[in-house]
Structure 1
Amino acid sequence: MTAEGFELVIFDCDGVLVDSERIAVQVDALVFADLGCAFTETEIVERLVGSSTEVWRAAVEERLGRPLEEGWEEPYHSWYRDALDARLTVVDGITEALDALTLPSCVASNGGHRWMRRNLARTGLFERFEGRIFSAEDVSRGKPEPDVFLHAARTMGADPARCAVVEDSAYGVRAARAAGMRAFGYAGGLTPAARLAGPGTVVFDDMRELPGLLAAAA
């Protein structure tokens, strides 16, 4: 990291900006049970939170012992939508952190554009990031590969070595490191701090601390 510090802060969406992971894990468990391949919520957190569609699907198919049919997910969209509509909030402290942030920022997530737009709009955060939202849909590989972070940095005109990534999952932290970026692991969600820790990663559990941590790490 140079003396000039960071050029860009890249936020994951689910579990970092919007408190959707807790809701999604509960619905995941219901969906898996309905499919006939039960996972406990603990298993979902450990194996699937923050993973790419490919990782998620492979885990389910392994447990099922067969491939998932095309379009299998269609009946379940309303399960997630209804739960999020009823209970979704922003992550505690993120509004204060964003208000205090002076660096350019964007969003880069494994989530699809439609779901991110919906969730960010529902929580009043969409306008803060409009035009600066990147999805694994935009690249060939999702996290834990670095593609979406590198795509975000390239589009924003930032040097990856001078980007900070705020993540709440082990997959996301791995992707940030693979991109050559500095990872900040938010441990106030579902993923334990120990699973976020690693070389160069700053682990924290209060979003209000983020602006100070970014300044100290630059």
Structure 2
Amino acid sequence: MSPSLVIFDCDGVLVDTERMTNQNMADLVTELGYPITGPECQRRFMGRTLENVKEMVEALIGRELPNDWPDQVRERDLESFKAGVPAISGIEAVLDDLDDRGVPYCVGSSGKYAKMNATLGSSGLLPRLKDRLFSAQDCERGKPAPDVFLLAARTMGHPPETCVVVEDSLPGVRAARAAGMRVFAFVEDPSCDRQAMTDAGGILFEHMADLPDLLFSNS
């Protein structure tokens, strides 16, 4: 069935920020006394809100972090983004295809609006997405809970069962499935846990250029 609405995750799907933010996280956690690499941070924390990550880091280091620690991470990330954030290769052609088909799309992210505005703005994608951004900061729960995707579908006026999500994280795939939506898992990054994403119900694809055919193969 052709989707009535396509909901994109932001980081790693629209903009290429994952390596940058995971290295920042690795530096911060290592400074706290728990040596860790960027790829390991990606495996542990990818797709989650920073408030959730804070709890996970506290468990790793055995002590509580300041209440504003998530904001400290965000500030470091925003400073890094000033150097420029590229769009994911091929994503503009995907959005062009959806425009040509008259299929609406939006963003459903764990990131806050300040981060989305910074990264999408730097990449050049913000003008076509700025009025269609949805963040977990407006929800009671972040991914893997379905809240942000259900918020996006409800606000855009589409039932969950006719929506499709494009994700690159395991919590995001689980959130989409919990929302009752089909989900395509972008696994270009070799560190992705492909088996876990498949087990969670994701339809895997490696190249953004392949997405339109996957979305509309049965239409």
State the TM-score, normalized to the length of structure 2.
0.91
* Cα distance in 2 for residues equivalent to 1:217 and 1:58: 42
Deviation at 1:37, TM superposition (A): 2.6
Kept after mapping to 1: 8 A contact 2:54/2:70? no
Q: What does residue 137 of structure 2 align with?
A: 137
* Cα distance in 1 for residues equivalent to 2:70 and 2:4: 39
Percent identity over the alignment is: 42
Deviation at 1:163, TM superposition (A): 0.4
* Cα distance in 2 for residues equivalent to 1:183 and 1:21: 20
State the TM-score, normalized to the length of structure 1.
0.92
* Cα distance in 2 for residues equivalent to 1:58 and 1:23: 21
The secondary structure found in structure 1 opposite 2:78 is helix
Q: What does residue 76 of structure 2 align with?
A: 79
State yes or no: 1:56 paired with 2:49: no
Q: What does residue 22 of structure 2 align with?
A: 25
The letter of the residue matching 1:144 is P
**In structure 2, do the counterparts of structure 1 residues 217 and 200 end up closer, same or farther at CA, with 3 Å as the change threshold?**
farther
The secondary structure found in structure 1 opposite 2:143 is coil
Alignment of 1:1-218 (within 5 A): 3=1, 5-101=2-98, 102=101, 103-189=103-189, 190-198=191-199, 200-217=201-218
Kept after mapping to 2: 8 A contact 1:46/1:191? yes
* Cα distance in 2 for residues equivalent to 1:30 and 1:138: 29
The secondary structure found in structure 2 opposite 1:6 is coil
Q: CA RMSD in A?
A: 1.7
Gapped runs of 5+ residues in structure 2? none
Provide runs of 4+ in structure 1 moved above 4 Å.
73-78
Bigger mean CA deviation after superposition, 79-88 or 132-141: 79-88
Kept after mapping to 1: 8 A contact 2:81/2:118? no
The letter of the residue matching 2:135 is S
Gapped runs of 5+ residues in structure 1? none
**Alpha-carbon deviations, 1:79-98, whole Å to 9, x = none?**
32232222421111111111
Name the count of aligned residue pairs: 215
